[in-house]
Amino acid sequence: MKYYVMTLFPEMVRQGLNTSIIGRAINRGLLSLECMDIRAYTTEKHGHVDDYPYGGGAGMVMQAQPVYDCYQDICRRTESAKKPRVIYLTPQGKTFEQKMAVEFAEEETLIFLCGHYEGIDERVLEMIVTDNVSIGDYVLTGGELAAMVMIDSISRNISGVLNNDISAETESFSDGLLEYPQYTRPEVFMEKRVPEVLLSGHHANIRQWRREQSIKRTCERRPDLLDKAVLDKKELELCKKYLPIS
Ligand code: 6GU
């Protein structure tokens, strides 16, 4: 996967993603990350990348020219047959979720466009953006943190990025349920014991206990997820026990 991030704050994105698992994946050549400074493409003599909005109103709007030229420079570098998707980070986009992370992970190149101020001139957005994506219903000061969230989440679905390929599969959401609770040594911490079944070595019982815990958690914390979860008859009965009475 080749990521390109178009931003006014390339250092923020570089710094944010060069740590931990994603940083290691970049160093191992499983991913590449190019943070492109939109400001470097302005033809304005004072280096401005924004201007007042036509029609008036508060704030500034990012101009089309440096964004378009930055995009063209990325296109020149990517010699792939099809045009890469361009993801514009905006609270007006479709809400990012796990299914999209898996789908985006199949692409060979992804371009992220981060806006600031009151947004970007609509004309360049019409010309280059293929996907408008939001990371949730709240407002950020810019798209950078949202791009970093998406890159982190997409990357863990790319083969080799996680130490163990099965962990991407068995974690929260992949079967529509929240993950079960985890424990490690010691067996007793401040008088609280690890659930006995986990020490039993009885793998079928452990699997069943974990499945039940996942269902219990989902009922208690995210009952909205149950609509899409695949549950058998006995598991549906379990839900009645755990679902908060409405
Ligand atoms: Cl993707 N961008 C910005 N600027 N704000 C947001 C967002 C994205 N998602 C939620 N708020």
- What digits encode the pLDDT tens for the residues 105-139? 999 999 999 998 789 999 999 999 999 999 999 99
Ligand 1 center–CA 151 separation, angstroms? 14
Q: What percent of the chain has pLDDT over 70?
A: 96
Candidate of 100, 140, 141 to mutate for ligand 1, largest count of ligand atoms within 8 Å of Cβ: 140
Ligand 1 center–CA 134 separation, angstroms? 5
Q: State pLDDT tens for residues 131-157.
A: 999 999 999 999 999 999 999 999 999
Candidate of 89, 148, 149 to mutate for ligand 1, largest count of ligand atoms within 8 Å of Cβ: 89
pLDDT at 209: 98
Residue 166 has pLDDT above 60, yes or no: no
Going by C-alpha positions, the residue among 112, 124, 87, 118 that lies closest to residue 9 is 112
- Atom 5 of ligand 1 has which residue's CA nearest to it? 140
Task: Over range 8-26, report the average pLDDT.
Answer: 96
Q: Report residue 244's pLDDT band, with 50, 70 and 90 as the boundaries.
A: confident
Ligand 1 center–CA 34 separation, angstroms? 21
Task: Over range 72-96, report the average pLDDT.
Answer: 95
pLDDT at 129: 98
* Burial of 118 from C-beta contacts in 10 A (0-12 / 13-18 / 19+): middle
Ligand 1 center–CA 111 separation, angstroms? 16
Task: Over range 231-239, report the average pLDDT.
Answer: 95
Q: Report residue 80's pLDDT band, with 50, 70 and 90 as the boundaries.
A: confident
Strand duo 85-95 + 131-134: pairing: parallel
Task: Over range 6-16, report the average pLDDT.
Answer: 98
What is d(CA 120, CA 90) in angstroms, rounded to the nearest whole number? 10
Residue 204 has pLDDT above 90, yes or no: yes
Q: Report residue 81's pLDDT band, with 50, 70 and 90 as the boundaries.
A: confident
Going by C-alpha positions, the residue among 99, 68, 102 that lies closest to residue 86 is 68
Mean pLDDT for the chain overall: 95
Global pTM? Answer: 0.94
Residue 170 has pLDDT above 60, yes or no: no
Q: Cβ < 6 Å from ligand 1: which residues?
A: 89-91, 133-136, 138-140, 142-143, 146
Ligand 1 center–CA 7 separation, angstroms? 14
For the CA of 147, the closest atom of ligand 1 is 1
Residue 83 has pLDDT above 60, yes or no: yes
pLDDT at 79: 80
pLDDT at 171: 62
pLDDT at 21: 96
Q: Report residue 243's pLDDT band, with 50, 70 and 90 as the boundaries.
A: very high
Ligand 1 center–CA 211 separation, angstroms? 34
At 64, which amino acid appears? A
The phi, psi pair for 123, rounded to 5°, reads: -65, -40
The phi, psi pair for 66, rounded to 5°, reads: -65, -35
